[in-house]
Chains A and B, each alone.
Chain A
Amino acid sequence: MKRYTLPMMVCMLLFSFSTTSAQTHSEAYKNNIYNPGILKPVDSKLKVRIGQKAPDFSLPSLTGKKVSLHQFLGKKNVVLSFVPAAWTPVCSDQWPGYNIVKDIFERQNTILLGITVDNIPTLFAWTNQMGHLWFPVLSDFWPHGKVASRYGILRSDGVAERALFLIDKKGIIRYIDVHDINKRPSLEVLVHELQQLPK
């Protein structure tokens, strides 16, 4: 047993290198992405569930206007995409992907709302690197993380989880994915879930 201990530990150590969370950084952000390292996958307790009415909110957007969840009632399905923070690795490579699938959202009569707990100036500078986003970007900065907290996805360090909520035209939550904060949710799964929503 003793002579296997060291080689085994070396293998396990090498494995730990290989399991660090892989990710890409777009050169669009140059050297401005802050890497917080590997974080606790989920650090909050969800306060809503599938089948429940989604809590309403009204948040300032990048356009200067407020966007409320209730304004889409009876008109459009809604995807809420909470991401933890601007200028961080996975977040910076999530919304730009959604930005090139506007047609998929439109086919399902769905609006996407991107939300972080950053303030408007930070969101302005960050999303400018992504090109022109077709969907509203909302700031849950003040009162800090109030909406994230209401949904039960505000982490103990004050950022939101990486979470997706699909809400139908009646305002009912149909899908929740509080994702491992270190990883990008699968677009394929999101599209599949979108296709389950009535248009």
Chain B
Amino acid sequence: MKKAICIPLFLVLGFFAQQSPLWAKTLPPQENSILPDFQLPIPANADHRQYLGLKGKGFFKIHQIKAKAVIIEIFSMYCPYCQREAPNINKLYQRMETDPQLKGKIKIIGIGAGNSPFEVDIFRKKYQVPFPLFSDNNFTVHKCLGETRTPYFFVIAAGPGSTQEVIYSKLGGIKDLDSFLQTIRARSGIK
């Protein structure tokens, strides 16, 4: 009898789980929260491995990146805003790499939500993106980070213990690079 009630109940709940956007959505990690745990493949590109301070093959976590703060851009090659923003983010990378006070201390990576390696590569070539981009073909990281719209920027710094703290979490482009970098420096304690 119980089974007879439970199975239809399960089917009804399952149906709504599939249909309702309310059930599917969670908020992206906010500032001062702990970064959810996820991993990315160590880049095959030697320059990118060196930039991130990684060695070997396999997977890595954000805390393994050699930096005081890590900027994570959630993007998609299909996102017109990300396309328009790409030259600005390249400028941000150049700014950080040419500033002796920031070089090596703040690193940036991009994660292509729902993009295959092929699609990420198209974006990289089209906009000549110099920093490491990763494919998140199955939306694994995207789901972990609250299924954000794109582009979305997180900045991560070492938190209490071995955790990683979100020190910046914002939807949309970075309009003022100087102001953004000042904020990140202040929040991550970079002199």
What residues of chain A have their CB less than 8 Å away from a CB belonging to chain B? 2, 5-6, 9, 12-13, 16-17, 19-20, 22-28, 35, 37-38, 93-94, 96-97, 99-101, 129-131, 184, 186-188, 191
Contact = CB atoms under 8 A, between A and B. Distances in A.
Contacts of A131: 80, 83-84
Contacts of B91: none
Dominant SS among interface residues on chain B: helix
Interface in B139-153: 139, 142-143, 147-151
Given A5-B3, A131-B83, 5 more contacts: A13-B14, A22-B114, A22-B139, A24-B114, A28-B79
Interface of B: 2-3, 6-7, 10, 13-14, 17-21, 23-24, 76-84, 113-114, 116, 118-119, 122-123, 126, 138-139, 142-143, 147-151, 171-172
A23 B114 contact: yes
10 contacts: A13-B17, A16-B17, A17-B23, A19-B18, A24-B139, A26-B76, A27-B79, A28-B80, A35-B21, A131-B83
A22 B142 contact: yes
B10 A12 contact: yes
Contacts of A187: 116, 118-119, 122
A186 B122 CA distance: 13
Contacts of A20: 17-18, 23-24
B149 A94 contact: no
A6 B10 CA distance: 10
A24 B78 contact: yes
Contact of A24 (B2, B10, B76): B76
Q: Which of A28, A99, A188, A191 has the most CB of B within 10 A?
A: A28
Given A20-B17, A93-B78, A100-B126, A6 B6 contact: yes
B172 A9 contact: no
